[in-house]
Structure 1
Amino acid sequence: MKQKKNTVEALGEVALRRAYIREVILENFMSHEYSRIPLKPGINIVTGPNGAGKSSILLGIAVALGQTYTERSQKLSDLIRRGEEAARVSVIFDNSEVEGRRPIPWLTSDQLVVTRYIKKNGDYWHYVNNRFKTKAEVDHLLQQLGINPNNMLIIMHQNMIEQFAAKSNIEKLKMVEDAVGASHFRRRIIEAEEKLRNVQSEAQTLKRSLEEARTAVEYWREEYEKLVKKKMLEEQKKKLEIELAWSEVQEVEEDIYRLQEKIEALKL
């Protein structure tokens, strides 16, 4: 139970630390000549008549963050306002400090501005807080923030609802986990489980090696005892051989002594 509580608390901390979109700036983008759309934390509702540019706000966010899907065109250059050569879309994340903490801890600025420029010839480039960044760098940055622009639950256009409904339950679960930041913890759990399996495998290998070592030690202990016993027996054999030799010498000497006595007796 304690571990579940810690996981929930951790998810809550991630949610609290997440930066929200404070403002969207559209310049020469679709029907917008120059528009600044301020937003607040929580739910924001944009209303207006058809053709007023409501959907293009969401599309602008998608383009700025690098979403691969565009519902209105096949090319990004088609999103440039008619008669213009370039467009600029910016998404401003709030990073204000609250109680000594920032949603993006490693950024000291009160805001994170992700900007994408689009030219009529098809070229585009990115800026983050007025510094040039590659697409890969922007993707990595958004990944650090827990934002996947290609997740339907992060940015869902009008005709995506049917696509989401057609997804399998597993695919929907992955999208939900990715959207709320739980996928990060799932990856960490999977990595931890993989490490645990590796440690267990290494432990089994070490256990087998230890058993083999014990068997080898027992074998060599027995061999050592045999060797010691063999040396003892060899030493005993040598002693017995020496004793036998001395015994034989004594017998010969005694025989010689007796013969000498007999010889002496015959002389008399």
Structure 2
Amino acid sequence: MTAFTVLIPARLASTRLPNKPLAALGDAPMVVRVAQRAMQSQASRTVVACDSEQIMAACAAHGVEAILTRQDHASGSDRLAEACELLGLDGNDVVVNVQGDEPLIAPPLIDAVAALLDQHPEASMGTAAHAIDNVDDLRSPNVVKVVADARGRALYFSRAPIPWWRDGFAEGVTSLPQPAPLRHVGIYSYRAGFLRSFPALPQAPIEQTEALEQLRAMWHGHQIAVHVTEHAPGPGVDTAQDLERVRKLF
């Protein structure tokens, strides 16, 4: 497999959970826990791309490489684009974006998403999904769904229940169609050249409607390969309740 770098975007200003990257999980802050998991993958390098000296210091204390990026980035993709420049990554270098609030991410999943760009040279991005096993997730707009083609490339991402079961959903979404719809998992692989150019692409109308940044890439003609994993990822941390649940595991 082509060598790859894991980049972990981390910022202190979180609307739902302030200072989230520094939240303690056992004897280490969350961003360090994420990096430690990523370092168990086959990545040749794992780097935290952060916006504060506090995160830099926390990473240094635990032997995690970190770089300081601007505080005014509009999204994680913008932060990673700057990180690619700071690290001097070549246009064809593969980067995997691991979210900074996924302290239980499986290292083999990181490897599988990185490998997608070898398997799909026509794709600009790779990501992951797993089968939905309950109706509540299918109905929830907070659970992003994806539909892929026969070669494992994304056709569309949506917060709506897709694909729409014409006959089974006639009276509402009360049961799962077969095969089961796919839940999108928020991990991405890119080639560094594409990642650097992505923030300059104009926003897409479908991106604004769905509030899903990956739709910008598709709207501009870029293909996204999808790895379907058999196992749901470990719980991420978006709220104080999530944090307490994950803390119990550490």
TM bracket, shorter-chain basis: under 0.3
Structure whose CA Rg is larger: 1
Bigger fraction of residues in helix: 1
* Bigger RCO of structures 1 and 2 (CA < 8 A, at least 6 apart): 2
TM-score by length of 1: 0.21
